[in-house]
Structure 1
């Protein structure tokens, strides 16, 4: 009996010690964000403050200050959103050649920083479109190399957390940007030149942080210390060191689609992008449904950004624990909930809060989580090219989705258009859940 009691007590002590060890390890994991991720988060925060300052005032500047027509602004908005999709693959491929991720990302950030003050000199549609094209080309060039740096600096088991931290810092900038812009306009009595100059200065500060604090990951990246669980992902892992030494090519980048998991990730991301209503339409639907006063319209994106900021890191951690694909698909379920709320006849403040909260959950569960899901399946030497493939496919289909939803709204009206989008999203999310890619399991180094 005494032996049994001793064994029981020992086991209880061991269990308690194990729980405490797990607690300490989990706490340390939350704190141990790679320095590169924090530095890149600071760069994105500053850059997003700069970018959102311009985005927030651009409609007013173009239509009110310069007197251009809404049709002209529609053209500029198309340029603003479409150019990035055209150069993402270029940025990813250029970054992988010679492992120049920091150089290509720096070039992208530098282009965007240089474009901001030039808006002071542009007063016609072609001139403004050219400046915006340079700015968005910079964004397209930097996105895949930046995400590759995050992925290569982080072990596979912590990718969701790393991207969650980065996206949270990025979204903090998106929240601050409009507030800074409207504060400047109020203080300077609508002096748009002050907004563009300050925006350019903040963007330059972001470039300096990149140059001074972001380091090149070791050859093969941190991810090379983890072993996938088999199949095509295992082959990608096995080829990682070789791919880091081989000069990447466009053919090699497209060859990544031979990896089964990458085909499923790219296909599902593109399919879900095809049924995603754009942010602008979501906000316009809220405004139309509630007949919201124009002065409140600029605050709607802040609601989405607040939800994104609050949940990006928690959902990234959840994705690392339960799997990234369920969280990614679950984010689209939240978007479906937002669509359903927009169909409810009665609205009010509760409807606005509900739609914006679900919209923020959608971004928190999908934006960084998709990159975290794709990264470990890719060899280190083609990491930026592979992530660019995923991003480009999604960007192109979302552009098509915007055109399709706009046409449906025009032909059928709002409720039928949302109903069609809801059914299509539900079906696409089901397909994505069935075609989920395999997981990549991290081998934790022994203590």
Structure 2
């Protein structure tokens, strides 16, 4: 479990930094002249850049056993790239900075998750991913509380806050130095070829990746949720409306943090599919809530639901992919899953942005329709599997 704690600590510092930046990002983009489409492009393309690299990074790690180096290099790249955000003066520059920063995520995620998956017994895999996810979310709470204090109490501007966040991200590199790669990941002889066409993923894994990719077409950026919340406070001045939105965002992160490990443990007990189905249902309910919400009290209910969705989905999906894949291809399988779902965020983000420009409620109707369809397909097409790996 020491690896999971160390990688969780790294995630904590990295998300501490990111969650100082990201809650303010939609407002920063709007201040630079960007609208709904710009937000959709920045979130979608940035995540897609990471997605494309994840399967390549995962395959490279499986074939060369350079898991730790890729994790360290990925976090280092992201930390350095965050220093570009305070320098941006137009929204296309934010798009470029976000895309460069996401390269680091693409390099690190699959090999990191492979280390997590093999650092605990497979019967505790959900709990292991849940702990790592909970520490990540704890960093998000620290970041969102910090940005609220800096923005509302001390009147820091966007650029000063972003620069401070970039400095904090450097702390994420320290715990990685003490991580030990599990022997089960390196017992296989490294191969020179990185040929992805020769992969033999199981049929259940391919089906799950397909259904998940559809789901992520509707799982658009949380930045639209933040903008929708801030719009409901139109009777307040900009500073106070953003502050109230940040309070709701903190509430979302609290629920994500508190329930991440319990949700992972639950998947160990009742099965991954059931927990993922609950997650899909929670996002469906969240989108319906945002479509109908007309008061602050409603938002106080909806943002915790979104936090529960994140808690139920993240660790359980990674655990399920790990269960459905062979150990020697574990990092590749996790990378392929992240690549496929991440690429779906490009059209998903563009569609959400175009609909937002027409009418913000259309964005949530779109998300509602896609997530309902994905929920039905997950229930009917995917069977529960108990891992022996």
TM-score bucket (shorter structure): 0.7 to 0.9
User: How far, CA to CA, are the matches of 2:369 and 2:92 in structure 1?
Assistant: 39
Match of 2:328 among 381, 393, 396: 381
Q: Is the 8 A contact 2:45 2:346 kept in 1?
A: no
Query: Displacement of 1:144 after TM fit?
Result: 1.1
Structure 1, unaligned runs of 5 or more: 1-33, 222-240
Shift of 1:121: 5.0
CA distance in 1, matches of 2:221, 2:24: 19
Q: Does the alignment pair 1:328 with 2:276?
A: yes
Partner of 1:12: none
In the alignment, structure 1 residue 278 sits paired with structure 2 residue 243: no
Give the C-alpha shift of residue 53 in structure 1: 1.9
Q: For 1:80 and 1:40, how far apart are their aligned partners in 2?
A: 23
Match in the other structure for 1:306: 254
Which residue, 176, 193, 206 being the options, matches 2:172? 206
Range that drifts further, 352-361 or 269-278:
269-278
Q: What's the CA shift string for 1:336-378, capped at 9, x where partnerless?
A: 122232343x632331122112111111111111000111222
Please give the alpha-carbon distance, in whole angstroms, between the structure 1 residues aligned to 2:38 and 2:220: 20
Structure 1 residues 308 and 292, CA gap change in structure 2 (3 angstroms): farther
In the aligned structure 2, how far is the partner of 1:341 from the partner of 1:56?
20
Aligned residue among 108, 113, 117 for 1:147? 113
1:184-241: per-residue Cα shift (whole Å, max 9, x none)? 4567652666534533332222101111x211111347xxxxxxxxxxxxxxxxxxx6
Q: Check if 1:317 corresponds to 2:265.
A: yes
Q: Distance in 2 between matches of 1:399 and 1:245?
A: 36
Which segment drifts farther, 417-426 or 307-316? 417-426
Distance 2:367 2:87 in 1: 41
Residue aligning to 1:218: 183
1:247 aligns with 2:186: no
Matched with 1:356 is 303
In the alignment, the residues of structure 2 paired with residue 246 and residue 289 of structure 1 have an alpha-carbon distance, to the nearest angstrom, of: 55
Q: Compared with structure 1, are the counterparts of its residues 132 and 291 closer, same or farther at alpha carbon in structure 2 (3 Å cutoff)?
A: same
Kindly indicate whether structure 1 or structure 2 has the higher relative contact order, using CA contacts under 8 Å at least 6 residues apart.
Answer: 2
The 4+ residue runs of structure 1 with deviation greater than 6 A are none
CA contact (8 A) 2:43 2:349 kept: no
Alignment of 1:390-401 (within 5 A): 390-401=337-348
The alignment's TM-score, normalised by the length of structure 2, stands at 0.87
Question: How many aligned residue pairs are there?
Answer: 382
Q: Report the Cα distance in structure 2 between the residues aligned to 1:396 and 1:266, rounded to whole angstroms.
A: 12
Q: Which has the larger radius of gyration?
A: 1
- Find 1:267's aligned residue among 182, 205, 210: 210
